[in-house]
Amino acid sequence: MAEAERIIGTPDTPEAAGAEPERDESVRPRGRRRIAVLFAVAAFAYTLDLVSKLLVVAKLEHHAPIEVFGDWLEFHAIRNPGAAFGFGAAFTVIFTMIAAAVIVVIARLARKLYSLPWAIALGLLLGGALGNLTDRIFRSPGIFQGEVVDFIAPKGFAVFNLADSAIVCGGILIVLLSFRGLDPDGTVHKD
């Protein structure tokens, strides 16, 4: 009978005989690894930002700027209540809420994360958002109104920090991944 089914084209797989299909166990660990990458990148970016700000506050704040490449790049400690270029200084609480919302969105998206490049991009965003959110919560003048410590000062550009750099790099990577058609769940679509 099995020979006749094979000739006719009926599959003789265990599923056809009513048995349970075999499960591919490699799918589950793959997702966990991507989430682990996201949190590892976030932890690295956050730690680097936190340590750099602690050093800047301890060694550079209230001191003359340090020239790194002549007047093209300096380390100059400032406290920024607003966004880039000092915009929105009166909206510190709103920037705090935006950073918190970004963190929640990334945490929810992490459940469906199967793409390594997306894990890296979201990890950079998460680490940067956590870095600036930490300043907004714990630095003066008060909770949810704290000023962000910025210190990287290129000539003719805004003063920024490593959290800002992580956010920008993560954002650029997300744009590139989107243009390539790669989704966070690992699927690729061609439009």
Phi, psi of 89 (to 5 degrees): -60, -25
C-beta of residue 123 within 8 angstroms of C-beta of residue 189: no
Type of residue at 100: A
Catalytic positions are 150, 164
- The pair phi, psi for residue 160, each rounded to 5°, is -140, -175
Count of beta carbons in the 10 Å neighbourhood of residue 8 = 7
From the DSSP assignment, how many helices (H) and strands (E) are in the chain?
Answer: 5, 3
Q: How far is CA 50 from CA 36, 53, 127, 163, in A?
A: 21, 5, 10, 9
